[in-house]
Structure 1
Amino acid sequence: MIASWYDQQGPAAEVLRFGDLPDPVPGPGEVRVRVTVSGVNPGDTKKRRGWLGSSMPYPRVVPHSDAAGVVDAVGEGADARLAGRRVWVYGAQSYRSHGTAAQYTVVPADLAVPLPDHLSDDLGASLGIPGVTAHRTVFADGPVDGKVVLVHGVLGAVGSMAAQLAHWAGATVIGTVRRGTDVERVDPAVIDHTVALDGADPAAAIRAFAPEGVERVIEVALSDNADLDCAVVRNDAVIAGYATRADRTGIPFWPLLFNNVTLRLFGSDDFPVEARRQAARDLTAAAAVGALGVATAARYPLSDLAKAHEHVDAGVHGRVLVDVPQP
């Protein structure tokens, strides 16, 4: 099969290779997916760079966890009805060496989720890590129907999906963007109120819309926003953090304690199995009724994977997709 891979960590243009690798074979409980579109996540490029001192987990890594494609082989014990089905894939390179930057990827059968016929491969390849993470941050502490949910970084991959899922589930959604010039890019059909963090008083702007405070916070930059979150939460709120800008985060402990705030931290590679499965079901259901969409920022052929990785490393909004040549 044609694939892209790296045998050592480093800059994309220096370490990513493109060529032929052996076709993988599904083992017990696994399926093989013929990949049509592979999705690139920041986590994929961080692994390649050796972020936070991480080392090569395997001698060779075929990157990427997300994809859309068609199941073309089924291992012993896997559901034979998946054969020939269009699917979206998540977690392919989580604790495995070979992800979706290849013509074929092999995953446990429950990581290949049937994709409704009317949904595009591009959307399917965009649901994985951002969608499952967004779902977990929104729903880990129960339903949000009737609640006020603050989503930071609402133009980002996870933030956008979190806002859409919260809206789909009946929440009032407040979204934040970094700059006032970004406000016009936010979809008012999903976001009830948008606040620019470079404004004079973001906390007052949030409180003006939610005077009793917000019940859930979806947090992309805990190190930056901890004080702001503390100023706008109501008693018994939950702050769900999936990322931070600084490794060490100063937490306003006593104000959060007096508000009985729960701080949850989420790492997508290690979500409970049933939580991942529920996320997959809900993401597919929301997408099927048009409640979930993803903006594509750029796409590249698999042969230009280094450029795709560099695009993601530049911190752009929107999904970066990779077209995989068909065998």
Structure 2
Amino acid sequence: MQMRAATYHKSGEASDVLSIIQCEKPEPGPGQVLVRVSFSAVNPSDVKTRSGKTPRPIDDFQIPHMDGCGRIVAVGPGVHEGRIGQRVWLWLAALGSRWGTAAEYTLVPANQAVALPDSASDELGACLGIPAMTAHECLLHAGPVTHKKVLIAGGAGAVGHFAIELARWAGATVIATVSTPDKAKLAQQAGADFVVNYRDDDVADQITAFTNGVDIFVEVAIVDNWNIDLAVAAPGASIATYATDGRELSIPIRECMAAGLGLRFFLLYTHSRSALSLAAQSITDALAEQALTPLPHLTFPLDDIALAHEAVENGESRKVLLDLRDSDT
């Protein structure tokens, strides 16, 4: 049976290399499930991979996108048939596989199709994946955060949004940094206890006055924020950083040693699958308790995938999704 899918055969500009094709629907093998996709999320890393900035091997063709949401329609050997019909959210679908989520159907290992609680919308399910799992692992990299003071840099971004919500769910006090009043509102809506504009001259003073020391940092711009982080860190604090713009960071080692500061560099794609599976279950527990909310999103049809990629490249602040619910084979 045929399906519609977005594919590319080589890296390049979105409008040059992305095309919509008809191809054979894959069949699930041992331990796999076939999912009818409802929404496919476009992450910055998906765009970078397609453009060639962070290239990955292409197995004849590549259907892009790691994250999405849908319903299981078939299972392979070793997967309980009771999972057929289950609504699921998907993570890292295209990592080491040609079957990303930008298609009517995708094929993933069963544990990468995680049951979606009835209370969670498909749009929320599609928004999870990379942002929520990055948030979870950075937030908890040094252990439980109950009663801890947590600083989320970039609190209005996708990772920041879920980091705030997961931290509140876990019982932490949450400080978020943002760049505009509108983004401050988003961080507050997500549940941040204190929000500060990182462009203010007295950012460190404001944070210290509120917290008297931060225990855990979820950091998106460590080079820009290093001096602030060091100034507000409590003794024994720990920083997890998950992004880079390529600049180098010079660290005052003696000062860090005296503060007992921990520093963890995080890349989701090299993180252990067992740890990510545990993170997925924890995220689903938070979903079941309605602790997570959808990101503001902008939706495109599958046929406009190039425009969707260009929107991400041009700095669209909303989460970009492809809507495949009414896609016709």
Tell me the TM-score range normalised by the shorter chain: over 0.9
Written as runs of structure 1 = structure 2, the 5 A alignment for 1:1-327 is 1-52=3-54, 54=55, 56-179=57-180, 182-187=183-188, 190-211=191-212, 213-324=213-324, 325=327, 327=329
Distance in 1, Cα, partners of 2:190 & 2:283: 19
Contact persistence 2:127–2:295 (CA under 8 A): no
Equivalent position amino acid for 1:46 in 2: K
Deviations 1:22-66 (A, max 9, x none): 1111111111101111111111001011115x3544331100011
Provide the aligned length of Structure 1 versus Structure 2. Answer: 325
How big is the shift at 1:230? 1.0
How big is the shift at 1:250? 2.6
Equivalent position amino acid for 1:196 in 2: N
Deviations 1:216-253 (A, max 9, x none): 00001112111211111111111001112334223333
Distance in 1, Cα, partners of 2:245 & 2:294: 24
Deviations 1:71-100 (A, max 9, x none): 111011123221111111111011212200
TM-score, normalising length from structure 1?
0.95
Contact persistence 1:297–1:316 (CA under 8 A): no
Contact persistence 2:120–2:290 (CA under 8 A): no
Equivalent position amino acid for 2:187 in 1: V
How big is the shift at 1:283? 1.3
Contact persistence 1:179–1:197 (CA under 8 A): no
Distance in 2, Cα, partners of 1:207 & 1:112: 42
Distance in 2, Cα, partners of 1:303 & 1:272: 34
Cα pair distance change 1:189/1:63, threshold 3 Å: closer
- Which runs of 5 or more residues in structure 2 are unaligned? none
Contact persistence 2:161–2:187 (CA under 8 A): no
Q: Which moved more, 1:23-32 or 1:269-278?
A: 269-278
Distance in 1, Cα, partners of 2:182 & 2:80: 49
Equivalent position amino acid for 1:64 in 2: H
Distance in 1, Cα, partners of 2:59 & 2:256: 41
Distance in 2, Cα, partners of 1:207 & 1:180: 21
- Which runs of 5 or more residues in structure 1 are unaligned? none
Deviations 1:192-213 (A, max 9, x none): 11111110121111111112x1
Deviations 1:142-183 (A, max 9, x none): 110000000000000001100110011000000001245632
Contact persistence 2:41–2:322 (CA under 8 A): yes
Contact persistence 2:72–2:87 (CA under 8 A): yes
Cα pair distance change 1:109/1:177, threshold 3 Å: same
TM-score, normalising length from structure 2?
0.94
Distance in 2, Cα, partners of 1:22 & 1:74: 17
Equivalent position amino acid for 2:323 in 1: D
Equivalent position amino acid for 1:9 in 2: S
Alignment partner of 2:71: what SS?
Answer: strand
Distance in 2, Cα, partners of 1:292 & 1:37: 18
Q: Aligned-residue CA RMSD in angstroms?
A: 1.5
Distance in 1, Cα, partners of 2:305 & 2:139: 32
Distance in 1, Cα, partners of 2:215 & 2:189: 20
Contact persistence 1:223–1:246 (CA under 8 A): no
Q: Which moved more, 1:132-141 or 1:242-251?
A: 242-251
Equivalent position amino acid for 1:320 in 2: V
Cα pair distance change 1:146/1:45, threshold 3 Å: same
Contact persistence 2:166–2:292 (CA under 8 A): yes
Distance in 1, Cα, partners of 2:216 & 2:69: 31
Equivalent position amino acid for 1:292 in 2: L
Distance in 2, Cα, partners of 1:267 & 1:185: 25
Alignment partner of 1:281: what SS?
Answer: helix
Contact persistence 1:79–1:109 (CA under 8 A): no
